Amino acid sequence: MTLKIYNTLTKQKDVFTPHEEGRVGIYVCGPTVYDHPHIGHAKSYVSFDVVVRYLRYLGYKVRYVQNITDVGHLTDNADAGEDKIEQRAKLEKVEPMELVELYMRSYYEDMDALNNLRPDISPRATGHIPEQIDFVKKLIDKGFAYEANQSVYFDVSKLKDYGKLSGRKLDEQESGSRVEINPEKKHPADFALWKRAEPGHIMKWNSPWGVGFPGWHLECSVMSMKYLGETFDIHGGGIENVFPHHECEVAQSEAANERPFARYWMHNNMVTVNGQKMGKSLGNFVTLKDAFKKYSPLTIRFFVLNTHYSSPIDYSDEALDAADKGIERLHNTIRNLRERLESSKGTKGQEIWKTKLEKYKSAFEEAMNEDFNTAEAMAVLFNLTKEVNSLLNSEEEISKGILSEIDSFYRIYGDNVLGIIPEKTAQYGSNDADAYKMEDNLIKALIDTRNDLRISKNWELADDIRNRLEKRGIIIEDRKGKTIWRKKKFIQ
């Protein structure tokens, strides 16, 4: 089976062939850290986390770069308005870099909770100002950029294929149709590489053109090429960044280097809330920290992966409740599987289940190879889970080898690839697996005590133990010859 990726650049699914055999370089536009992360961040970064995980599963050595934007992202558009970080810093009466540190820590805290792998490199725009200045010089020397009143702009008319990523034609972009005309520009579509700092501007650096700061588009070109090379494999980001952000990246990078920039462009779709686009102005903006108060981070992750990354996803209580129940069923099955594994002594059915697991492995890979279709891959996992539940509910002795191979399947595809059954929270509720193992042992001890009370016909105290456990989310089921238990909800 061959991995295919929908490429925004070619407008079709392309067979993935890395630029360098056995290695993959991937750059994903990171957050502008001026507020707490929201559900849209979860959609984007969980999606690309699974892309990285699956590429590693396929055997590639992956270098994953995800930047931190801490300067240059303006409020109105790429070239106008106030720097988002500086604006927020003024409101909160803190230094811009103080604000950046606060919200950058908040971002990583939430991404860790979602079980996203940390990028291999997380460069910050303010840490690469000299490289950005050098890149602007290069574009001026090549005739693709010009200085105007201490700012520098990219001349889009000099690049014949400007617009090839988004499909927008230069002659279709009417002057002043979206923003006020900037008289400094030769063409309304020209974009800022370097902006002069107005009086009172805090975040600024010396440059050959005067005191100023880099344009938002500039940082991603410079940092991606610094760590991945002038041509690399995959560039990812939100669909809202196709134009102008990514279009401008392509233009300035290929103009400077005269070679292809990113070979595959991947874009995740947006999040809506009850059918409306999520936005602060609509009052339906949901931060991850607020979402985590009601749902576990793994439920959010599960919710995201149940939809293809390129499709929009609607955030609602109904959808999250369904995701919560889904991941609960999955985790309960794995808990029961691992408990059965500890005590199993059977030897039957080994070859039959090896064949079944090979079938599920092929189906899982087929789904993921079709443009990382996590929704289909999750369906494969749940089809397996139905069969596993039937197996566990049977009265026959089950081969320890079978149970071990099923457990290994969950660890590889549910944990290593999808990240919804993380090993570090194998007991489903804490980053400290040892602590949760102790809790499990205490629950089992209480159940054993309850069973002893039932044998001695002390029904009142036995029911009291059952009721107290149920209040804490522990559900007890008495079956023929044994008592099983499960957690009603897992909270990470």
Could you list the residues known to form a binding site for Zn(2+), using ranges. Answer: 29, 220, 245, 249
Q: Distance between CA 300 and CA 42 in Å, rounded? A: 8
What's the Cα-to-Cα distance from 361 to each of 125, 405, 484, rounded to whole Å? 41, 12, 30
Nearest CA among 23, 25, 46 for reference residue 301: 46
- Strands 145-148 and 61-66 turn out to be unpaired
Pull the structure tokens for residue 51.
């892309």
Q: For the residues of 334-390, what is the DSSP string, one character each?
A: HHHHHHHHHH--B-TTHHHHHHHHHHHHHHHHHHHHBT--HHHHHHHHHHHHHHHHH
Binding site for ATP: what residues are annotated? 280
**What strands lie across the sheet with 151-154, from one edge to the other?**
145-148, 151-154, 191-196, 212-214
Q: Distance between CA 381 and CA 360 in Å, rounded? A: 8
Contact 458, 450 (CB under 8 A): no
Q: Distance between CA 213 and CA 193 in Å, rounded? A: 9
DSSP collapsed to 3 states, 243-265? HHHHHHHHHHHHHHHCCCCEEEE
- According to DSSP, residue 197 is labeled P
Binding site: what residues are annotated? 29, 220, 245, 249, 280
